[in-house]
Amino acid sequence: MKRLDLSKLGQYVIVIIVAVTLNFALPRLMPGNPLALIAGVDVGLLTAEERAQIIEDVGLNEPILNQYADYWVSIATGDLGQSYRSGRPIKDIIAERLPWTLLLAGGALIISSFFGIILGAISAWRRGGKADVPLLTGMIALQSLPSFWLGMLLISVFAVNLGLLPSFGAISPAANYEGWEYFKDVLEHAILPIVTLSVLSTPGVYLTMRYSMLEVLGEDFIRTARAKGASERRVLFGHVTRNAIAPVVTFLAIRFAFSFGGAVIIETVFSYPGLGRLVFEAVSGRDFPVMQASFLVFTAAVLIANLIADLLYPILDPRTRAA
Amino acid sequence: MTPPAIPANRPRRLLPRSLADRLGWFGAIIVGFLILMAVFAPRLAPYDPSERVARPFLPPSSEHLLGTNDVGQDLLSELIFGARVSLTVGIVAAVVAMLIGTTVGVIAGYYPKRLGSVLMRFVDVVLILPFLPLLIVLAAYLGRSLTNTIIVIGVLIWAAPARIIRSQVLSLRSREYVLASRSMGAKDRWVILRHILPRTGLLATGSFVRAISGAILLEAALSFLGLGDPIQKSWGSILFWAQSRGAFLTPAWKWWVLPPGLAIMAASLGFALIAFAVEERINPKL
């Protein structure tokens, strides 16, 4: 197997440095009192001593480079600070929220890759044909669909008008279901958000698959396969799909991380208690420490996804393996 | 005439040209219609969208075709005036993005060695950062205003155009006529302005129109999260209020939620189709 590309790793390190530095610099560069943005307290309500005490606690009176170094130390030790709304450690809040977002993003990943890959393959195989043109135009149209709007419409139709599914939350409050009942409850709450997120993700998978297939179809070895008399089915599955899949998987890994970002909006519509909703709550409650910590978690998610994609690529496409 | 700047190994087209062109024209018609609506908003709208003209939460009637919102403003008038905000933010943010993207792309492509590779490193970092969360964090820090929305969107979406333009410039700079011009002692400035920039024009147009399509969606998302300008309501802001007043839990979704979403989709799709047609026409291998 190819050893990990060092320049890629270097790039990830740069991304981490940029993200952490942005987090550090933003509240200090903004106009107004940085105390409110960093400690997340209402400065107007404090006496002068209390203010001095907090400045001391947060370390705002130290030289800026020391603050920067301290910031790195606290992040490296997993200390993300405290929420100003609830006073709880942000680490705990994120640990509570993360599984729900993983559920949504994971469900959407499975559904969108299923439809995206199959429809993309059909489209490319009969390019310009009866299925291809409406599929392609439909997918382009889906890319322009505002996800939050789709979510609102799904709630109006399926939750309110038809009464089939719940319209908010991740579990029924105060129901205390157990076992199978609990599983069913979680599933019912997750269906609409997952569908919304899947609709958002499918066009990207489809377009990547279609393009990747078209590239492979133009290659010499496909003509060779046909010339030696391989059946169409064998050409499609043995030659084309196998060679077209690597870029798609890379795309999926990265798409998964971006689903996290999309979750900010979708979880807000469905009042779903995941990481995305947490960002929205932090923004509307001006809970800056939580907002920043979430941004770091999103950055970590993107980097992990990219790393997985880099590791998977040479396995799926042996041609890119170094000798 | 000099040959158009298209690499020799062009891939096959996504679609037959006529279809791509037809889709492009369809997009142009949608966009034209929306721009007319934005320009003539004061004449088209039956009421001033900021005035409370009737009782709140009215269903559609002959006086108020789309009913009224939670404070009694006419929803149809809000929708028509919303076109101004949404289109302005989309277009201006795309201009900002293209200014940054073209500058970075041309410099990185023309000086590919040290300067270019440092710039592209930076572009890659911007592309990798979690886009939507960063957008929200920046918008939250900067505060809610039209200018801030434009800046935040503009400074986050320039990286993709920069990359596309750079690869074009990279291939242009080794063309014979560019080499000839340089060997005759032309300064870099002259070569870039005279030979490089004009031939990235069409490509940049495609990126620009695509950036508008994306920026319109981003503006809608930001406004929907309550980070839009509180005074100038865009289509996204209408949906923010519909959401916070629970309109989608009542029959009001048909006149309060449905129309602004359709408008956002129409605008974004219109520009996306134009971009698609333009890109199909150039289709360089990127």
- Among A284-288, B8-12, B110-114, B201-205, name the one with the lowest average pLDDT: B8-12
In this prediction, residue B221 carries a pLDDT of 92
Instruction: Determine the longest span between alpha carbons in chain B, in angstroms.
Output: 75
For A135-178, what is each residue's pLDDT tens digit? 988 998 998 999 889 988 998 888 888 877 877 777 777 767 77
In a domain, A85, yes or no: no
In a domain, A146, yes or no: yes
**In B, which residues are within 8 Å of A260 by CB distance?**
130, 133
Q: Which residue has the higher pLDDT, A283 or B206?
A: B206
| Domains of chain B, CATH where assigned | 12-44+87-282 (1.10.3720)
Domain co-membership, A72 together with A158: no
Domain co-membership, A183 together with A49: no
Query: How many helices and strands (H and E) does chain B possess?
Result: 12, 0
In a domain, A244, yes or no: yes
In this prediction, residue B2 carries a pLDDT of 41
Domain co-membership, A70 together with A105: no
Q: Which of A181-185, B102-106, B170-174 has the highest mean pLDDT?
A: B102-106
Number of separate domains in chain A: 2
Domain co-membership, A201 together with A59: no
Domain co-membership, A263 together with A226: yes
Q: Say what the ipTM of the complex is.
A: 0.84
Q: Measure the CA–CA gap between B40 and B46, rounded to whole angstroms.
A: 12
Q: Measure the CA–CA gap between B258 and B266, rounded to whole angstroms.
A: 12
Domain co-membership, A134 together with A202: yes
For A76-99, what is each residue's pLDDT tens digit? 887 777 777 777 888 888 888 888
Q: Which of B23, B213, B224 to probe the A interface (max A CBs under 10 A)?
A: B224
Segment A231-251 shows an average pLDDT of 80
Reported confidence tier of residue B17, pLDDT bands at 50, 70, 90 = low
Q: How far is B272 from chain A (nearest CA, A)?
A: 8
Flag if A128 and B132 touch (Cβ within 8 Å): no
Nearest CA in chain B to A287: B140
| Residue A315 contacts residue A307 (beta carbons within 8 Å) | no
For residue A125, which of A235, A246, A204 has the smallest C-alpha distance? Answer: A235
Flag if B225 and A268 touch (Cβ within 8 Å): yes
Q: What is the CATH number of the domain that holds A307?
A: 1.10.3720.10
Domain co-membership, A67 together with A193: no
In a domain, A88, yes or no: no
In a domain, A120, yes or no: yes
Nearest CA in chain B to A254: B128
| Burial class of residue B245, CB neighbours in 10 A (0-12, 13-18, 19+) | middle
In a domain, A175, yes or no: yes
Flag if B15 and A26 touch (Cβ within 8 Å): no
Flag if B130 and A260 touch (Cβ within 8 Å): yes
Whether B160 and chain A come into contact, CB under 8 Å, resolves to no
| Residue B94 contacts residue B150 (beta carbons within 8 Å) | no
| Residues 6+ away with beta carbon under 8 Å from A75 | A20, A296
In this prediction, residue A323 carries a pLDDT of 43
In this prediction, residue B112 carries a pLDDT of 86
In a domain, A4, yes or no: no
Reported confidence tier of residue A128, pLDDT bands at 50, 70, 90 = confident
In this prediction, residue B257 carries a pLDDT of 86
For A93-116, what is each residue's pLDDT tens digit? 888 888 899 899 889 989 999 999
In this prediction, residue B1 carries a pLDDT of 37
In a domain, A71, yes or no: yes
Domain co-membership, A48 together with A116: no
Domain co-membership, A278 together with A215: yes
Reported confidence tier of residue A37, pLDDT bands at 50, 70, 90 = low
Last residue of a domain, one of A42, A76, A110: A76
The boundaries of the domain holding residue A129 are: 98-322
For residue A161, which of B254, B259, B224, B243 has the smallest C-alpha distance? Answer: B254
Flag if A26 and B138 touch (Cβ within 8 Å): yes
To 10 degrees, what angle do helices A288-316 and A90-125 make? 40
Domain co-membership, A28 together with A176: no
Domain co-membership, A70 together with A120: no
Torsion, Cα B26 B28 B32 B38, to 10 degrees, reads 100
Mean pLDDT in chain B? Answer: 85
Reported confidence tier of residue A320, pLDDT bands at 50, 70, 90 = low
Flag if A303 and B128 touch (Cβ within 8 Å): yes
State the DSSP H helix or E strand holding residue B93, giving kind and residue range, or none if neither. helix B75-110
Q: What percent of chain A has pLDDT over 70?
A: 89
Reported confidence tier of residue B38, pLDDT bands at 50, 70, 90 = very high
Domain co-membership, A67 together with A186: no
What's the whole-model pTM score? 0.87
| Residues 6+ away with beta carbon under 8 Å from B24 | B273, B274, B276, B277, B278, B280
**In A, which residues are within 8 Å of B278 by CB distance?**
none
